[in-house]
Amino acid sequence: MKIGELAQRTGLAASRIRFYESIGLLKLVQRQANGYRSYPEEAVLVLNLITTAQQAGFSLDELRTLLPQDLAQWEHGKLLDTLQAKVKDIEALQQRLAQSKAHLLALIDEIESKPDDIDCATNAKRVLSKMNLGEPSEAPKRTGKIRSRI
């Protein structure tokens, strides 16, 4: 099939398909005598694999090492190891994101707990001084009511 049909069947732009070919991810292309690219049916599967893997968080470099020259040559153990490593990477990222979220929520609570007798500039200094001292601020319980910001 020609690149236009492959693009239509995969939902990818022809330029994206040529890019995957140029970086070595799509190796199934053959050139016709007139220079046109010709792709086998298996190219649809490879491009769908690339798209799905990217959506799952795999980089193009990771995919380059993961995809075999021929799809009939998958190494079961290597594939499982790579997928399990990606799951661990995602879990580590989730943990870092949860920590970041907790820090931001604590900061928001600290800002929202501004004493009524200080102005915003003084409150900003109060919050920043706690952050700079590395004091773990215990976030007050969120009440749902909105106070003025800094």
Angle, vertex CA 63, rays to CA 61 and CA 66, nearest 5: 115
CATH code for position 19: 1.10.1660.10
- 17 and 65 assigned to the same domain: yes
Q: Per-residue pLDDT averaged across 60-70, rounded?
A: 84
- 48 and 3 assigned to the same domain: yes
Higher pLDDT, 135 or 106: 106
Give me Rg for the CA atoms of the chain. 26
- Distance CA(114)–CA(129), nearest Å, equals 14
**Which are the contacts of 79, defined by CB distance < 8 A and separation ≥ 6?**
66
Which of 39, 71, 103 is the endpoint of a domain? 71
- 105 and 124 assigned to the same domain: yes
- 36 and 91 assigned to the same domain: no
Task: Summarize pLDDT for 68-117 with one digit per residue, the tens.
Answer: 777 778 788 888 898 899 999 999 999 999 999 999 998 888 888 888 88
User: What tokens does 1 get?
Assistant: 């099939």
Task: Summarize pLDDT for 19-31 with one digit per residue, the tens.
Answer: 999 998 998 888 8
- 85 and 63 assigned to the same domain: no
Number of residues that make up the chain: 150
Range of the domain at 52: 1-71
- 85 and 146 assigned to the same domain: yes
- 56 and 123 assigned to the same domain: no
Count: domains in the chain = 2
According to the model, what pLDDT value does residue 133 have?
Answer: 55
What pTM was computed for the model? Answer: 0.64
**Residue 150: pLDDT band with limits 50, 70, 90:** very low
